[in-house]
């Protein structure tokens, strides 16, 4: 029995060891990639259209980071964003993402004559930086884009950890003219209080809701109530993760018109979207 137990413990240790060493390996490569982001360009922003289902046109884009590693190939954001958040690399990376997205809007304005709003995902740790608002302001000034085209996506975690100062910062950002979206709504804690307390413009309902809507009437009812409540608060509501025509039909019945999902498009490089997609000017 003791021997069996020992073997199990050994196995456990060796799995732990592998996990820890894999993580350290990712961390080392991530550090290198971020330090060489300008010369080697290991990161790219992909964009997923946000659609107004009444017109079928694109009304905005969400920027989603992609890491192309020379040996490992494509590394999904869920594999490295949490690590970058923990070790602080998200600060330089996040700044690069924001600048890149703003430069893309500038380019669009110049070459297409219109600008689609771009949503950028933020990590709590970025907002916690003392000079965060200043950093955003500098990027807006440097690129010269109209702040109303920049949407910053935050999650409830932001406010749970730094409630007072982050609300203040969000308010300062709104004064600049930037829009704020609450991402992944309903995924975790979802205190309705956040909807009142936070200076937000858009609520993005987590994809788990629409993706389970076929299963039972309960989720349909909850989703219906959530949409009504958010619209009642005069906030814009967007449903993420729409994959099927049935899901779309349900949302149209709810008079919920803003959606994002594989049914319309996967996230793509900008050149595959701009000039190929009918857009809606706002």
Binding site for Ca ion (CB under 5 A): 121, 153, 183-184
Whether residue 66 contacts residue 46, with contact meaning beta carbons closer than 8 Å, is answered with yes
Strand partners, 151: 119, 179
Contact between 152 and ligand C2E by CB under 6 A: the answer reads no
Q: Which of 26, 30, 33, 81 binds ligand C2E (CB under 6 A)?
A: 81
Please identify, using beta-carbon distances, which residue of 85 and 183 lies nearer to Ca ion: 183
Contact between 178 and ligand C2E by CB under 6 A: the answer reads no
Strand partners, 203: 182, 237
Please identify, using beta-carbon distances, which residue of 32 and 188 lies nearer to Ca ion: 188
Which of left, alpha, beta for 146 (phi over 0: left; psi -120 to 50: alpha)? Answer: beta
Contact between 77 and ligand C2E by CB under 6 A: the answer reads yes
Please identify, using beta-carbon distances, which residue of 103 and 113 lies nearer to ligand C2E: 103
Rounded-to-integer distance, Cα 50 and Cα 56, Å: 10
Pick the piece of the chain touching ligand C2E (CB under 6 A) from 26-34, 143-151, 166-174, 255-263.
255-263
Please identify, using beta-carbon distances, which residue of 65 and 238 lies nearer to ligand C2E: 65
Contact between 184 and ligand C2E by CB under 6 A: the answer reads yes
Please identify, using beta-carbon distances, which residue of 47 and 250 lies nearer to Ca ion: 47
Whether residue 59 contacts residue 47, with contact meaning beta carbons closer than 8 Å, is answered with no
Whether residue 152 contacts residue 119, with contact meaning beta carbons closer than 8 Å, is answered with yes
Q: Scanning residues 17 to 56, which ones bind ligand C2E (CB under 6 A)?
A: 48
CA 84: distance to chain centroid? 15
Contact between 104 and ligand C2E by CB under 6 A: the answer reads no
Binding residues for ligand C2E, rule CB under 6 A, total 22
Shortest Å distance, C-beta 280 to ligand C2E: 19
Shortest Å distance, C-beta 241 to ligand C2E: 4
Whether residue 48 contacts residue 65, with contact meaning beta carbons closer than 8 Å, is answered with no
Shortest Å distance, C-beta 109 to ligand C2E: 21
Please identify, using beta-carbon distances, which residue of 104 and 153 lies nearer to Ca ion: 153
Which of left, alpha, beta for 89 (phi over 0: left; psi -120 to 50: alpha)? Answer: alpha
Contact between 156 and ligand C2E by CB under 6 A: the answer reads no
Residue with the shortest CB distance to ligand C2E: 261
Cβ atoms within 10 Å, residue 153? 18
CA 281: distance to chain centroid? 22
Residue numbers of the site for ligand C2E (CB under 6 A)? 48, 63-65, 76-78, 81, 97, 121-123, 183-184, 207, 241-243, 260-262, 267
């Amino acid at each position: 029995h003791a021997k069996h137990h020992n073997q199990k413990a050994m196995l456990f240790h060796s799995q732990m060891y592998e996990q820890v060493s894999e993580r350290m390996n990712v961390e080392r490569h991530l550090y290198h990639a971020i330090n060489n982001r300008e010369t080697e360009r290991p990161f790219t922003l992909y964009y997923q259209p946000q659609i107004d289902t009444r017109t079928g046109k694109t009304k905005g884009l969400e920027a989603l980071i992609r890491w192309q590693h020379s040996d490992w190939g494509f590394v999904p954001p869920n594999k490295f964003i949490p690590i970058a958040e923990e070790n602080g690399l998200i600060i330089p990376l996040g700044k690069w993402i924001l600048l890149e997205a703003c430069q893309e809007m500038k380019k669009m304005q110049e070459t297409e004559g219109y600008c689609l709003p771009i949503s950028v995902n933020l990590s709590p740790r970025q907002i916690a930086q003392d000079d965060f608002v200043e950093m955003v302001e500098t990027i807006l000034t440097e690129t010269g884009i109209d702040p109303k085209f920049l949407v910053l996506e935050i999650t409830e975690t932001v406010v749970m950890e730094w409630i007072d100062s982050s609300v203040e910062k969000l308010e300062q950002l709104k004064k600049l003219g930037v829009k704020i979206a609450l991402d992944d709504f309903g995924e975790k804690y979802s205190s309705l209080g956040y909807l009142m307390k936070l200076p937000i413009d858009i609520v993005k309902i987590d994809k788990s809701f629409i993706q389970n809507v076929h299963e039972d009437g309960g989720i349909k009812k909850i989703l219906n109530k959530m949409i009504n409540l958010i619209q009642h608060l005069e906030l814009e509501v967007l449903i993420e993760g729409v994959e099927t025509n049935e899901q779309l039909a349900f949302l149209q019945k709810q008079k919920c018109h803003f959606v994002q999902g594989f049914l319309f498009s996967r996230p793509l490089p900008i050149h595959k979207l701009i000039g190929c997609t009918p857009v809606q000017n706002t």
